[in-house]
Amino acid sequence: MKGKEKTYSLMWSVTFVGAVIDLKNEVCHTVSIGDCTALVNDDVLNTNKETDNHRTQKFKTITDPSNRVFIEYSTPENLDTYDIKLINNRPHYETINNVKSLILMSDGVINYNDIAQKFENKDINSIWHELKSMNNKTDDDKTAIFFKSLS
């Protein structure tokens, strides 16, 4: 209630991940909100060698679950006006050079906490093939997009 007027309000959260890829210069600019994830494969990461019993990841994980956006919609009881507020709107931006491939995933595909453990020591092509066959039983959206440079 605002004063004596009865109001209705609804709050929800939004997550997002997107990328703009400069093919000519092999540069990728990502933006993420919440726990959606980008997995990036680049030449620098792929040239890492095995040392002793330790292997390095062949991809970079970009996510920031702390920056989830909350949206609040409110309207008075007579529904003649409304107000929409963005709360905690801090997108995470990152630029990656030498990009060869990229996977963008919504938060329903795999929990960001499980990525390193499940995909450790795997290349991004293997990860993509595993993601296609995963069937997580959640009510959350499941979207994954794969980009691979042919050069």
Tens-digit pLDDT profile for residues 26-81: 899 999 988 889 998 865 554 545 544 444 457 888 888 888 888 999 999 988 99
- Total domains in the fold of the chain: 1
Does 43 reside within a domain? yes
pTM: 0.74
Q: 142 and 106 in contact (C-beta within 8 Å)? A: yes
Q: Has residue 83 got a pLDDT over 70?
A: yes
3-state secondary structure of 56: coil
Does 12 reside within a domain? yes
Instruction: List the domain range (segments joined by +) for residue 101.
Output: 7-148
